[in-house]
Amino acid sequence: MLEKLGILDAGAQYGKVIDRRVRELGVESEIIPLDCPDVVLNQFRAFIISGGGESVYSSSAPSYNPNIFRLGKPVLGICYGMQLMNFCLGGEVEKTARREDGLCDIWVNGRSDLFDGLERTQQVLMSHGDSVTKPAYGFMLNSLSEGLIAGIEEPDARLYGVQFHPEVDLTTNGRKILENFLFRIARFSGTFTIENRARKAIAEIQSRVGDKDVLALASGGVDSTVLVALLGQALAPEQIHAIYINNGFMRLGESQEVEVALRALGVNLRMVDASESFYQGRTTHLGREIGPLNRVTNPEDKRRIIGDTFMRVAASEIQSLGLDPQRTFLAQGTLRPDLIESASALASGNASTIKTHHNDTALVRELRAQGRVVEPLSEYHKDEVRKLGLDLGLPEQVVWRQPFPGPGLAIRVICAENPYMTDDFSEINDQLEEYSSSEVSATLIPIQTVGVQGDGRSYSYLAALSGRADWDDLIKRAREIPKAVHSVNRVAYIFGGKIKGPIREITPTRLTPDVIYQLQLADDVVNEVLREFNLLKKLSQVPVVSFPINFGRSGDRSIAIRTFITNDFMTGVPAIPGIDIPEEAVEEMVKGVLSVPGISKVAYDLTSKPPGTTEWE
C-alpha cells in the first residue's frame, strides 16, 4: 500500500507548515507542483491542496491537473484548495463583502469524519477574500462561519474542503482534524519517523563544504548561534570564520552583549562596524537604483538595501581575511518562514512575497544559484531550531533569546514624508465609525503597515481604538475590523483617553540617527520591563515600533508595542493584558516610554497574524 501524502502547492504561506504537521503525525509527505501529471499523482495515497494567494477564477491562477479529483484518492483542500476543488467540479466561488482574516468561531457537523470527536463550535484561523457561494453537485456543507461556507465534503468520493487552516497553531483542534483526514479517511498507518535532523544537517554541511572555508554571519540570535554550533561539529576550526556585522540599527548595548555571549560559547568572532555602509547603502531593483538607506521610506526598498549591503560587507570581509572567494561559502541561519515570506523558490513555486528578508535578497539568491550558500536550517521553524539548540548543548538563555530581525530597528521605524491618504480615506474612516461607541473611539491612522491577507501581501492602513481599556472588548473589535474594512490590516489601542479623529498629520521621518536613538531608548524601556516581569520566554517576540503620528504635538512621534505569542512564527496572537501579560507590566511600559523625549502616544498592537505580520514592516 502507498504510504505517502502529496501536498499540492498552490502558493500558500503555510505550505511548509502542512508538511511539518503531517510528518509530526507519522506520515511521510512531499510538496509537489499543483499541475503534476497523473504519473506523479499515482505515486501518492492521498493529497492535501494548500492555500494560495490567487482567486480560482482569475486569469493568473496557477495551473493545475483536474484529474486530482477523479483518481478516487482522498483529497483535503485547504482554503484556496477547497475553492479549487469546488470550482473545478462545477460549484461557484465569488468575492464576498466580508473578509475572513484572523481567528473565527465556526460551527462544524459532528457527523463528518473530518470533525469526528470534536465539539460543534471550533476556533480556527481564516485568511481569504473569496468564498464558496454554491457547493458543487454532490457536496454537502460540513462547517459554517457566520453564514459563510467554511467547509464542504463529498464523503463517497473522499473529497473534503475547509476554508480555514488546520495546519496552524491558531486553529485550536487543527491537529485532530488532520489526524481524522490522514487516519480515519485516508487510512495511513502513521509509521513514518523523522531521522536525526542534527546528524543530517552536519552531514549536509560536510558534503557541501568539504575542505573549503565558511564565512558565518552570526547575529547572537538562536538561529545563527545554532548554525555556528553545527558548523563547529561539522568542520575543522580553521575552516570557520564567524563575523558579527553591526549595521547601526541594533538595540542599546546589543553588539556588546552579543560579543560577550558568543565568545563565552567559544566562538572565534570578528566584530565588524559597518554602520556607515548601511546608512549610505544603495542597491538596484528592476533596473532602478534605490537609496541611500537614510533617505528611503518604502519598507521593501529598505529591506533590499539592508540585505544586499550585508552581502557586500561579507564579500569585503572575505577579502580582508585573505580568503579565496571561490573557495569560501557563506553560511546563514535562514529559516523556513524567512523563505516563505520572501517567496523564495526554495519554499514554494507559487507563493506571494510578504516581505523580503535580509537573508533572501537578490544578491543572496545569486550566490545560491552559484552553489555558494550553506543554510542547514532552511527546513526548520523557530521552535524546531530551539529544540535542536538544546540537543546541541547550547545554554537556555541563548536558545530562548527573543528574536531580533537582521535589519534591526531599521524595519521598526515607519518612515514617511507625507501622510498616507487614499481618495477613499474619509469613506474608510466612516466605516470605522461603526466600531465606535460611547466608551471607545475607532479612527483611521494615515500610515501603512505590512500584513498578510488571503496568503498575499497587504500594505494597508492602521486603525486606532482609544478610550476605555476593556481588553476583551478591544480584542473583539480588533478581530472584526479587518474582516469588514478591507483597507485595514492592523488595529492598535492608543493609551491616554479617547482620540478625536480624523488624524491627518504626520511627523516626516527617515532613518536618521536621532530617530534610531529615540527608538533605542523606548525599546530598552520595554525590554527592561519584560525582564523585570520574567516575560521574555512567555512572549515569543515583542517588537517596539516607531511610527510618525504626533497626535497634535508637532515634531513628536509615537511608539507601538507589539506583543506576540506563537510557536511557528507563521501565525500568532497578541498577548492580552491581564491574561497573558500583567496589566501592571503594560502600565510600566507605557509610563517609561512616555518619559522618552519626543514621544506623543503609546499604542498596543491588538492584531493577530494574519492579518498583521509580526513586524509592522
Residue the block writes with cell 528578508: 357
Q: State how far the Cα of 433 lies from the Cα of 427, in Å rounded to an integer.
A: 10
Q: State how far the Cα of 78 lies from the Cα of 160, in Å rounded to an integer.
A: 9
Q: Is 63 exposed, middle or buried (0-12, 13-18, 19+ CB in 10 A)?
A: exposed
Q: State how far the Cα of 4 lies from the Cα of 8, in Å rounded to an integer.
A: 13
Active site residue 128: no
Check residue 601 and give its pLDDT. 98
Does the global pTM surpass 0.85?
no
User: Is the torsion defined by CA of 346, 347, 350, 353 positive or negative?
Assistant: negative
Check residue 350 and give its pLDDT. 52
- In sequence order, the 6+-apart residues with CB closer than 8 A to the CB of 224 are 216, 217, 218, 332, 333
Q: State how far the Cα of 521 lies from the Cα of 8, in Å rounded to an integer.
A: 47
Q: Which residues of 442-468 are buried (b: 16+ CB within 10 A; e: fewer)?
A: bbbbbbbbbbbbbbbbbebbbbbbbbe
pLDDT averaged over 10-residue windows placed end to end, the chain, 617 residues = 89 81 90 93 96 90 94 96 97 82 88 96 87 96 92 98 93 97 97 74 92 91 89 94 94 90 88 96 93 94 91 93 94 67 47 52 75 84 82 86 86 97 96 95 97 81 97 96 93 96 95 96 97 94 97 96 88 94 98 98 95 92
Q: Which helix (H) or strand (E) holds 260?
A: helix 254-264
C-beta separation of 248 from 266 below 8 A: no
280: cell is 549610505
- What's the CA angle centered on 303, arms 297 and 306, to 5 degrees? 105
C-beta separation of 358 from 407 below 8 A: yes
C-beta separation of 199 from 191 below 8 A: no
DSSP assignment, residue 564? B
Q: Residue 288 in 3-state DSSP?
A: strand
> Which amino acid is located at 410 in the chain?
A
Given 54, 104, 153, 165, the catalytic residue: 165
Given 167, 317, 384, 615, the catalytic residue: 167
Given 36, 54, 79, 179, the catalytic residue: 79
C-beta separation of 526 from 553 below 8 A: no
C-beta separation of 225 from 262 below 8 A: yes
* For residue 502, cis peptide bond before it (omega within 30 degrees of 0): yes
Please report the DSSP string for 409-435 in residue order: GGGGB--BSS----TTHHHHHHHHGGG
446: cell is 494615515
Q: State how far the Cα of 446 lies from the Cα of 414, in Å rounded to an integer.
A: 11
Phi, psi torsion values for 16, nearest 5 degrees? -70, -25
Check residue 597 and give its pLDDT. 98
Residue the block writes with cell 478581530: 479
Active site residue 79: yes
Check residue 196 and give its pLDDT. 64
Q: Is 15 exposed, middle or buried (0-12, 13-18, 19+ CB in 10 A)?
A: buried
> Which amino acid is located at 328 in the chain?
T
- In sequence order, the 6+-apart residues with CB closer than 8 A to the CB of 288 are none
287: cell is 533596473
C-beta separation of 608 from 565 below 8 A: no
140: cell is 454537502
Check residue 523 and give its pLDDT. 97
Q: Residue 612 in 3-state DSSP?
A: strand
Q: Residue 325 in 3-state DSSP?
A: helix
CA torsion, ordered 428, 434, 438, 444, to nearest 10 deg: -20
> Which amino acid is located at 484 in the chain?
A
Phi, psi torsion values for 376, nearest 5 degrees? -70, -10
Q: State how far the Cα of 316 lies from the Cα of 137, in Å rounded to an integer.
A: 63
Q: Which helix (H) or strand (E) holds 271?
A: strand 269-273
Q: Which helix (H) or strand (E) holds 285?
A: strand 283-285
Q: State how far the Cα of 557 lies from the Cα of 549, in Å rounded to an integer.
A: 5
Domains of the chain (ranges, CATH numbers) = 4-185 (3.40.50.880), 197-408 (3.40.50.620), 425-605 (no CATH)
